[in-house]
Every structure is written in C-alpha cells, then in structure tokens.
Amino acid sequence: MKSERARLTGLYGGLLVLAGVLLMGLVYLLVSETLYANLMSAVVPTVPASELNIDPVPAYRADGLTAGTLAETQQYTVAQKVTTAAGDAALNQLLTVSGVSLGAYSALSVALAWWMAGRVLRPVGVITARARRLSGSNLHERLALDAPPGELKELADTFDGMLDRIEELVSSRQRFAANAAHELRTPLAVQRAAAEIGLADDPTPEKVARIRAKLIDTAVGSEQLIEGLLLLAVSDEGLRRRERVALDETGAAVIDALAADAEARSITVGLTTRPVTVEGDAVLLDHLVHNLVANALRHNHPGGTVRVDVRPDGPGVVLEVANTGPVVAPETVPLLFEPFRRARARQHAPGEGAGLGLSIVASIARAHGGEAGAKANPGGGLTARVVLPRCP
C-alpha cells in the first residue's frame, strides 16, 4: 500500500469486516445455545404417543415401568432425534447463509471504505495540487474550502492564511527591491551628470570644488543607504547574540551623540527615563534608539522639540519618541514603517536620509520579540512607540 487512500481503505474495510465477523459469530453462538431447547419444546407435542409402535405389555412389568411410562420415554427419544436433526440442518443453513452474506458484506465494506477514504482525503489532494501550481504569478489564489468545521477545514484555512503571509512577504520584497534599485540609481545618475556636465570644457577651480563637494555628498548618501540596507538585512535575520542592555543608558548616550545635530537645528531634546533592562543585541538596540531620535530631529522644524521617554510598563519596556513637525496624515503612518516610505516626497536635500529609519526600527523590534508603532500628533509630528520584553 503506497497511498494514504489504500491504507485508509485497508483500515476502514478491515474494521468493517471484523465487525461483521464478530456479529455473525455472536448470532451463531446465541442461536446454537437456544435452538435445540426451542425445537424440543416445539417437537414433543407434535409426536403423539398413539402413533408409536409399542409392544403390548402387562400392566406392571418386572422393571416397574407401565405401558404409559414406556410410551412417554419412547416419545421423548423420538422427539430428541428429530430435534437434533432439525437443529443441525438449521445451523448448517445458518453457516452457509452467513458465509455468503459475509462475502457480500466484505466486498461492500471495501467499496464503501475506498469511497470514504477518497472523500476524506479530497481536501488534502486539493491542497497538494494547489501547492504544486504555486508560483509568483498566482499567489493570489486560495483554496476557500467549502466544508463543515473540522481538522481538514482548519488545515485548508491555515494553508490560505499561509498564502496570505507569503503573498504579502513577496510583494514587500518586490517593492523593496524596486525601491532599492531606484534609490541606488539616483545618486549614480547625479554623480554621472556632475562628472559629464560639471567637469566638461575645462571648468574653473571654483566649479571643480563645487562638483567635488557634490560628489562627496552623493557618495556619503550612497554609503548611508548601503549601511541601512545591510543593517536591515542583519536585523531581519534575528539575534546572533543576547546580553543585558540598560535601555535608559542607551537613550542617554544616543541623545548626547546627537546633541550637536539638535543644536544645529535649534531643536530642544528632553529625556525622561527610569532604570530598565532588556535582553538583546546592544548594537542593534543602539541603532533602534538612534534611528528614532534622528528621525524625530530630521522631520522637525527650527525651534521644535523632541521628547524621549523610557519606562517600564508591566512585563515590558516602552520607548516613546515624540516630536513636533509637519502634520502627518493618520492613514499614512503605518506606511512609514515600510522601506523607502516617506511622509513627504523626497527633495534630495543633504541629511534627508534614505527612508529606512522606521523600517529598521520595526525590524530590530521584531528581532527582540517586541513591536513598533506610531501615531500622528494633532499639532504635527509623530509619536513613535516601541515595546520590548523586559528582563526578569
């Protein structure tokens, strides 16, 4: 038996045949136990003593038996012989009929078992055929199995849910690849234009200096983009090492490192912390906090504020970074956590960023068993919130 349908047929058919054999054996046993007694009670009255050939005997014999007693004895003997013959014939007929019935019942049981196994395994066959046809062009297809609730219905629904996640992941990766190619092509085009146009026709030293500065800025932007892509790939792979990290100290260190940038933008940064410890990769967690604060500084306005709050919250740790700035439409906030998504169209301004900041934050949070989210502030700006598991 090489197929599950054949195995199930053998199992179901064997059980049905075994049940039939046991039932017929029980019927034969019960019939044989009561058949002779019932036949005896029915045959004795039908054998009249007057029809028995009994030799004339004295009223009293030497052995003490009277003619009446002898007639009754012979009547019982005849009835017993008739009962035995009839019972044996009935049991033999019962065995013959039972054997023929068992053969027909066995054939019907195997046929029903084959049909039942095929019906039970039909959803599995549908899932298998769909899985074989899957490709990048038909990930939108679903089983949508129309069946009563049960294990196979649950399996089909789980398969559909898996296809939903795969389709979303593939679409996300395709968008990511297309956006990454676009983002990398832009600085290359700028560099080529600067070299071919700006340096043509024996440019002046001042023009060469401007072109040189432009090429350096473009190269720095490309380096930042590549570093962001590498960091995103590393965080998506999960944690390679774990250690206890004081998140409040990490937040203070990041703010100190970005103090010059905040001062240059005339932005006030406030920090509120309580001692909290998480378990994870210290380098990735530093990038997480750095990206949140740098994003809050970048998408702000002169004279604005950034508020950083690190606090315990039940079994977790909450990191909130709120900033002032332009008004953000609430429906666009979830899209900001996708790679290369920005609240405003890219202006190619210095220090603008590659659009990977919040996507890296979300990836690092997932790698640490947490989650990241944000909400638009009514007066403008965002409040980004990251929840991480707290160290016991």
**pLDDT score, position 349:** 45
% pLDDT > 70, the chain: 76
Cα gap 27→21, rounded to integer Å: 10
Closest CA to 311 of 238, 215, 385, 219: 385
- Encode burial over 338-355: b for 16+ CB neighbours within 10 A, e otherwise: bbbbbbeeeeeeeeebbb
Asked if residue 61 has pLDDT above 50, the reply is no
If you average pLDDT over each of 74-78, 88-92, 213-217, 266-270, which comes out highest?
A: 266-270
Cα gap 280→239, rounded to integer Å: 7
**pLDDT score, position 342:** 55
% pLDDT > 90, the chain: 19
If you average pLDDT over each of 35-49, 249-263, 341-355, which comes out highest?
A: 249-263
Cα gap 226→219, rounded to integer Å: 11
Cα gap 338→358, rounded to integer Å: 7
Closest CA to 259 of 320, 306, 300: 306
Closest CA to 298 of 256, 233, 349, 250: 349
If you average pLDDT over each of 10-19, 33-42, 54-63, 82-91, which comes out highest?
A: 10-19
Do 133 and 28 touch, CB atoms closer than 8 A? no
- Model confidence band, residue 81 (pLDDT cutoffs 50, 70, 90): confident
**157 residue type, one letter:** D
Q: Give the residue with greater pLDDT, 197 vs 62.
A: 197
Asked if residue 48 has pLDDT above 60, the reply is no
Three-class secondary structure assignment of 180-234: HHHHHHHHHHHHHHHHHHHCCCCCCHHHHHHHHHHHHHHHHHHHHHHHHHHHHHH
Query: How many other CB atoms sit within 10 Å of the CB of residue 43?
Result: 16
Place of tokens 């970048």: 298
Segment 95-122 shows an average pLDDT of: 85
Segment 11-21 shows an average pLDDT of: 86
**pLDDT score, position 323:** 95
Q: Give the residue with greater pLDDT, 78 vs 104.
A: 104
Cα gap 387→369, rounded to integer Å: 9
Asked if residue 345 has pLDDT above 70, the reply is no
Asked if residue 382 has pLDDT above 50, the reply is yes
Do 306 and 383 touch, CB atoms closer than 8 A? no
156-188 pLDDT, tens digit per residue, is 888 888 888 888 777 767 766 766 676 677 677
Mapping DSSP to helix (H, G, I), strand (E, B) and coil, where does residue 345 land? coil
**pLDDT score, position 75:** 61
Do 317 and 278 touch, CB atoms closer than 8 A? yes
Question: CA angle, corner 147, sides to 146 and 149, nearest 5?
Answer: 130
Q: 369 is written with which tokens?
A: 């068993």
- Model confidence band, residue 350 (pLDDT cutoffs 50, 70, 90): very low
CA distances to 211, 212, 358 from 206, rounded to whole Å, are 9, 10, 39
Q: 274 is written with which tokens?
A: 């309580």
String of DSSP letters for 84-126: HHHHHHHHHHHHHHHHHHHHHHHHHHHHHHHHHHHHHHHHHHH
Mean pLDDT, the chain, whole residue set:
78
Do 290 and 254 touch, CB atoms closer than 8 A? yes
If you average pLDDT over each of 2-6, 65-69, 255-259, 336-340, which comes out highest?
A: 255-259
Do 364 and 306 touch, CB atoms closer than 8 A? no
